[in-house]
Amino acid sequence: MNSTEPAIELETVTKKYGDVRAVDSLDLVVERGETYGFLGPNGAGKSTTIGLLLDYLRPTSGTVRVLGHDPRRDVVAVHDRVGVLPDRFGLYEDRSARQHVALVAETKRAGDDPENRLERVGLGDAVDDEVGAFSSGMEQRLALAMALVGDPDLLILDEPFSGVDPHGVRRVREIVREENERGATVFFSSHVLGQVELVCDRIGVLHGGQLVAEGTLDDLRARTASPNDATMEDVFVELTDARADDGGDRR
């Protein structure tokens, strides 16, 4: 693995479903060590992009590289070094949180202690509870613990705050910072703008399958007529509205 290559690199990637372009000629580079916020409304193409990174989906055209690998040819190498919290996931209702984390550790040939991972995400009191009794927020925390197994080089979080209470939101933000300080690249996909701006170095705005803006918060504000004290949500709405007015929404 060449550590100088970007963590994520997409070159003119398109994913079509019939006449619909879920991702449309997308160019995206996320450097190693970044915490990158991937923003967009529901249906913008965020989850499709993540599927392409993990070879859950195949691009119609274009090139995808993850940690220096082609995920189509090197799927094991990619999945061994990537931790994923997907937007949608399935759990075994009759198995415990410990068993879920242990299964991922076995799959990745990692020596993680399930109790330590579960304690870190706030499930220390539910290690041996069956997952069928978990709330949606507890399920989200368990999925995060599973994503952290093996100290991944790249952590992909798709809507990580879904169903999580304010205390859980704070813990997720802390874990993102800690993982980045450890050296991991974090790819943070969300439409929860206020949370992304608190943890991300750089932000890309996806709309209609295209990257319509990219940069720091200050960079994005400078591209709009929003006042300096405008919220990130105001900036986001202005950027995506302008793209739609230009006919950029092809979904």
The residue ranges of every structural domain in the chain are 8-245
**187 in Cβ contact with 38 (< 8 Å):** yes
The C-alpha torsion from 195 through 199 and 200 to 201, rounded to 10°, is: 150
**47 in Cβ contact with 158 (< 8 Å):** yes
pLDDT (tens, 9 = 90+) of the chain, 251 residues, equals 456 799 999 999 999 999 999 999 999 999 999 999 999 888 899 999 999 999 999 999 999 999 999 999 999 999 999 999 998 899 999 999 999 999 999 999 999 999 999 999 999 999 999 999 999 999 999 999 999 999 999 999 998 988 888 888 899 999 999 999 999 999 999 887 777 778 899 999 999 999 999 998 878 777 776 555 555 566 666 676 655 555 444 33
pLDDT reported for residue 143: 96
pLDDT reported for residue 178: 96
pLDDT reported for residue 43: 87
pLDDT reported for residue 192: 72
Task: Indicate yes or no: pTM above 0.85.
Answer: yes
Q: Is 80 exposed, middle or buried (0-12, 13-18, 19+ CB in 10 A)?
A: middle
DSSP category for residue 204: E
CB-based burial, 132-144: b 16+ in 10 Å, e otherwise: eebeebbbbbbbb
**203 in Cβ contact with 217 (< 8 Å):** yes
Note the CATH architecture for domain 8-245. Answer: 3-Layer(aba) Sandwich (3.40)
pLDDT reported for residue 22: 96
**110 in Cβ contact with 72 (< 8 Å):** no
